[in-house]
Amino acid sequence: MRALAAQLLVVGSPLADPVDPTLAAVRRLGVGGVILTGRSAAGVRVVADRSAALQGSVPNGRPGLLVSVDQEGGQVQTLSGPGFGTIPSAVVQGGWAADRLTGAAERWGSQLRAAGINVDLAPVSDVLSPRLGARNLSVGISDRTFGTAPDDVASGVVAFVDGLDRARVAATVKHFPGLGQVAPNTDTSRDVRDTVTTSDSMSLEPFRRAIAAGVPAVMVSSAIYARIDGAAPAAFSRAVITDLLRDRLGFTGLVVSDDLGRAVAVAGVAVNQRSVRFVAAGGDVVLTVDPRAAAPMIDGLSRRAAGDPAFAATVVAAARRVLAVKQRLGLLRC
């Protein structure tokens, strides 16, 4: 059970630091994946060497790692340098024809694949409120959205996802059910509340379209959605993850958390309970930018599973979904 719980963890690997601490964590904890954090302008070859070292640290007989990165474009492009193209912001991408964006995303995805990256935590699928504009500190101020009209955003999202899929890189649409209607950033603010979005809002259209197109992963935000579940952040809400995303929208793939390690929005919850609450709500992949949080998060999951058969079954189901995506990406080792 502890090994299954560990497969649900994706932990931060700072690009500015030596890779050795992450290698040791992969060997010791058996985590399911890593997220490359910070920035690197070293180029494809250097990142590929890092990715290969990470995959090589996985104990024999265990599945390979999900190696992920935030490669959206504009201000959020983690990897650059030789072999990586300059990716314009989503605002620019949103003005392109769908076939042009699909072709560009396939090219960017192929560069990631050459660097050993198999998951892109993109595209942003939030519909920006025109009322907020640049006052939206999550996605508006940095031009991370395809636009302010649900249909336009949906078209951009589907085109981007299609391009990554052609490059054999798993896309992750985010931040469900949307951060376009709030001003604060959940990374830096507590009690971020959306008082607009409902289960029927048109701003969900990009997520609906991406799910219909077969997107493999959806990232859930840490904001509170007062008109869906005013009692808990979305990442800890069964009403958001299970009732809305899983049951109503029919999503059967990987549900990924936004950062549960350093984000101020979840700081009031004990570290070892953040993973438990996310998985209990219906989530699969627990993402922590802070690698120090991984061990207590695994402890929390395995201890809860040891005393709660229903929760143990939930962990097993989540691990199956992780392994299904790993199979698609060629990461299962026989």
Is residue 319, in this structure, part of any structural domain at all? yes
Q: How many domains does the chain have?
A: 1
Report the alpha-carbon distance of residue 125 to residue 173 in Å, rounded: 6
The radius of gyration of the chain's CA atoms, rounded to the nearest angstrom, is 18
Q: Which two tokens stand for residue 255?
A: 């549900």
User: What pLDDT score was predicted for residue 334?
Assistant: 63
Is residue 214, in this structure, part of any structural domain at all? yes
- H-helix or E-strand spanning residue 26: helix 20-29
Is residue 334, in this structure, part of any structural domain at all? no
Question: How deeply is 262 buried, as exposed, middle or buried, from its count of CB atoms within 10 A (0-12, 13-18, 19+)?
Answer: middle
Q: Which domain holds residue 253?
A: 2-328
Angle at CA of residue 212, ends 64 and 89, nearest 5°: 75
The per-residue DSSP string of 265-334 comes to GGTTS-HHHHHHHHHHHT--BEEESSGGGHHHHHHHHHHHHHH-HHHHHHHHHHHHHHHHHHHHTT----
Is 238:281 a contact under the CB 8 Å cutoff?
A: yes
Q: What are phi and psi of 118, to 5 degrees?
A: -115, -5
CATH number, domain with residue 14: 3.20.20.300
For residue range 100-132, list pLDDT tens digits in order: 999 999 999 999 999 999 999 999 999 999 999
Report the alpha-carbon distance of residue 207 to residue 177 in Å, rounded: 8
Is residue 333, in this structure, part of any structural domain at all? no
Mean pLDDT by 10 residues, the chain (334 residues): 97 97 95 98 98 95 96 98 98 97 98 98 98 97 97 98 98 98 97 97 98 98 98 98 98 98 97 98 98 97 98 98 96 82
Angle at CA of residue 63, ends 60 and 65, nearest 5°: 110
Is residue 222, in this structure, part of any structural domain at all? yes
Is residue 275, in this structure, part of any structural domain at all? yes
User: What pLDDT score was predicted for residue 61?
Assistant: 87
Best CA proximity match to 181, nearest among 224, 213, 152: 224
The per-residue DSSP string of 95-146 comes to TS-HHHHHHHHHHHHHHHHHTT--EE---B-----TTTGGG-TTTTTTT-SS
User: What pLDDT score was predicted for residue 333?
Assistant: 75
User: What pLDDT score was predicted for residue 134?
Assistant: 96
Residues whose CB falls within 8 Å of the CB of residue 75, separated by 6 or more in sequence, listed in order? 89, 142, 143, 144
